[in-house]
Amino acid sequence: MDRGFDVIVLGVGGMGSAAAHHLAARGARVLGLERFGPVHRQGSSHGGSRIIRQSYFEGSAYVPLLLRSYELFERLERETGRDITLLCGGLMLGRPDSQAVAGSLHSATVWDLPHEMLDAAEIRRRFPTLAPDDDEVALHERRAGLVRPEETVAAQLERATAAGAQLRFDEPVTDWEVTAGGVRVRTATGGVYTAGHLVVTPGAWAPSVLAGLGVPFTVERQIIHWFEPTDGTAAYAPERQPIYIWEKAGTPSQVYGFPAIDGPDGGVKVAFFRRGQPCDPETIDRTVHPEEVAEMAEHAGRLLPTLPGRPLRSVTCMYTTTPDEHFVIAPHPAHREVTVACGFSGHGFKFVPVVGEILADLALDGETGHPIELFDPRRFEAARL
């Protein structure tokens, strides 16, 4: 088969733009196809900020990938001159036996990551915006902070293009197939493209684009909010306010938030982690309702009494979640010509650059030196039997 490209990347949001960047940088002929425009707000890679941290409560197996991801974020900043990361420190708060605290401490101990354990009094003294209960503690990690998703995607698209990748936007893929010697991809605009390999990074469209993968994805509607604190944003400046994840005992989800990074009128961002409702990416309700804002204000106010002074704005995004909340990054079990990366379950963006590196490894070399055994989609086969 006459292959038009070495690799086609289906979806060039966070993960796909990283894949296109790394593939093109290695000299591959790359085509990136995206159903929306560049750096869009219809999926999961928007909202101004994402938490980055290394003392990972989701599992210590993630830490080597995080260490590499930090290196690649720093390299991307140097190469593009963009302001992508801000290491303002971070707090994982809750009772000592909570996942946020105990899981973070386990990862920090296993990998010898610098950290401090703070009791409630010390938290309140050092970070006056926070008012934890007396029985709550925190792991403080100085290397935690935030990454700007829109800047990251824009930087990766810029680097991919500079390295020769062809990127086509507003061109939804309608179907793909494996043929003799490669893959063929068709789009809604009538395009037909061929390549030796296909990388599928579909975000919230994974259930339809990868229907044959056998992974029971759930797409969830999530909401992020910005409030104007009662006393203004000065106390929430990055040099005073860390990122935080708070696991309140007896509640079904965590609350996470950021310092004020958008100036005195930009407010402070806060959201629930894992409090979404199932949705379809084609029909998601993008209106945020007053009762949803009120619920966020009530919960955030328990930890940060001055934060929910006045709501400024709220927007929706989507998580694409697997049953065990671990990622899917692997060669497609049925097609060696296809590599998939999806199901990032609400905690994937901090891994964007290293996932791009992994996808380039798998597409060009058929293997990677990074530890990705945890992310094999075949782990769900037993549940289906």
Angle formed by the axes of helices 149-162 and 63-80, nearest 10°: 70
pLDDT of residue 383: 62
* pLDDT, tens digit, 9 for 90 and up, residues 302-348: 999 999 999 999 999 999 999 999 999 999 999 999 999 999 999 99
Angle formed by the axes of helices 352-365 and 14-25, nearest 10°: 50
Angle formed by the axes of helices 63-80 and 352-365, nearest 10°: 100
pLDDT of residue 265: 93
Q: Is the pTM of this model over 0.85?
A: yes
> Given a cut of 70, is residue 382 above it in pLDDT?
no
Tokens 């199932």 belong to residue? 278
As a whole number of angstroms, the distance between CA 332 and CA 340 comes to 6
**Which pair of tokens denotes residue 352?**
């964007």
- Annotate 292-319 with DSSP letters as a single string: HHHHHHHHHHHH-TTSTTEEEEEEEEEE
- Annotate 213-252 with DSSP letters as a single string: G----EEEEEEEEEEE-TT-SGGGSTTT--EEEEE-TT-S
* pLDDT, tens digit, 9 for 90 and up, residues 84-93: 999 999 999 9
Q: What is the share, in percent, of the chain residues with pLDDT greater than 90?
A: 95
- Annotate 147-191 with DSSP letters as a single string: E-HHHHHHHHHHHHHHTT-EEE-S--EEEEEEETTEEEEEETTS-
**Which pair of tokens denotes residue 22?**
């790394």
Q: What are phi and psi of 149, to 5 degrees?
A: -65, -45
